Structure 1
Amino acid sequence: MTGRRWESKEIAKHAFAWLAVAVLAAGCATTGDTTSGTAPVSDPAVVAAAAPAKAAVVINSMSIEGGQEDVRIHFGATGVVKHELSASRDSMSVVVKLEDASFEGLSRLTQVGDGTISTIALSDEGQVTVSLATHADSIVVSKDTGFTLVIAPVQSAVEASSVKPMAAVAENNAKVSVGNGEVDFSVGAAPAGLSGFVLSDGLRLVVDVEGITLAGGEIFQEYTEGAIKRVIVRESADKVRAVLEARNSDFLKSYTLSKTDNGFKVLFGSTEETVSVAVATPAPEAAPVVVAQTMDAETPSPVAAEPNDGSVGGGEITDFGFHQDKDKSYVDLLFSKMASYNVAEASGTRVVIDMLNTRLPSRFQRALDTSAFAGNIKLIAAYQRKADTRVVVDLTQPTPFTVLKVESGLSLAFEGGSGAEVVTSTTSDKIVLVGGEGEPMSKAETMGTKATGYKGTRISMDFVNADIRNVLRLIGEVSGLNIVTGSEVTGTVTIRLVDVPWDQALEVILKAKGLGKEIEGNIMRVVSAERLDAEHQQVLEKQKAAEEAAKASEPLSSEIFPVNYAEAGEVLDKITALLSERGTASVDERTNTIIVRDVDEKIELARELVARLDTPTPQVLIEARIVEVSSNYNEDLGIQWGGQYTADASHGNSTGYGFPNSIGIQGSTGAGNYLVNLPAAAAVAGSPGAALAINMGHINDILSLDLRLSALETSGKGRVVSSPRVTTLDNKPAEISQGTEIPFTTISDDETEIESIDYLLALKVTPHVTSDSSIMLKIEIKKDAPSTTYFATDGTPAKETRTANTEVLVRDGETAVIGGIITDSTSESTSGVPWFQKLPFVGWLFKSQTSRVEKTELIIFLTPRIVQLDQTTDL
Structure 2
Amino acid sequence: MMQIKFKHLFLVFLLLGFTACTSVEPDQGGDDLAELDAGAGDEGGVDDVDDAGGDEMGDEFADEADVADLGGDDAAGGDEDAFAGGDDMAGDEFTDDEFAEPDMETADAGQEPMEEDGLGTEDPLAESEPFPEPMEETQDVASEPLPMEPGGGVEDFAEPAAGGVAGNEVTDIKYLANQAGGTVVIETSGKANYRTRLNEDSNQFVIEIAGANLPRRLKRPYIMKEFESEFAAINAYQNSGSSTARIVVQMRNPGRALVQQEGNSILVLPPTQENMAAFVDDAQPEEIVEETDLQAAVEEDDSEPSYNVAEAEKDEKVLGSRTLDEFLMGNNKFYGRKLSIQTKDADVRDALNFIAEYSGINMIISDDVGGSISLKLREVPWDQALITIMRAKRLGYIRQGNVIRISTLGTLQAEADSARAIIESQKSLIPIRVKVLPVSYAVVEELAGQLRPFLSEGRGRIAADPRTSSLIITDTDEVLNRITRLVKNLDIPPMQVMIEGKIVEATEAFQRSVGVNWSFDGEPVTLSDSGGANGGPLDLRTTFSVNPVSRDSLRGNPFALSLTVGRLDFLGELGAILSLAETENSAKVLSSPRIVTLNKQAAEITQEGQVLTKSTVTEQGGTSKTQVERTPVTLNLKVTPQITAVGSVILDVDVKRQFAGGVVDTESLARAINTRQAKTKVLVDNGQTAVIGGVYQSDNTQSESGVPVLKDLPVLGWLFKARGRDFQKNELLIFLTPRIINFGDKGGGGDGMETSSLVDVLEGAG
Q: TM-score, normalised by structure 2?
A: 0.44
Q: Of Structure 1 and Structure 2, which has the larger fraction of its residues in strand?
A: 1
User: Which structure carries more relative contact order (alpha carbon 8 Å, separation 6+)?
Assistant: 2
Q: Of Structure 1 and Structure 2, which has the larger fraction of its residues in helix?
A: 2
Q: TM-score, normalised by structure 1?
A: 0.39
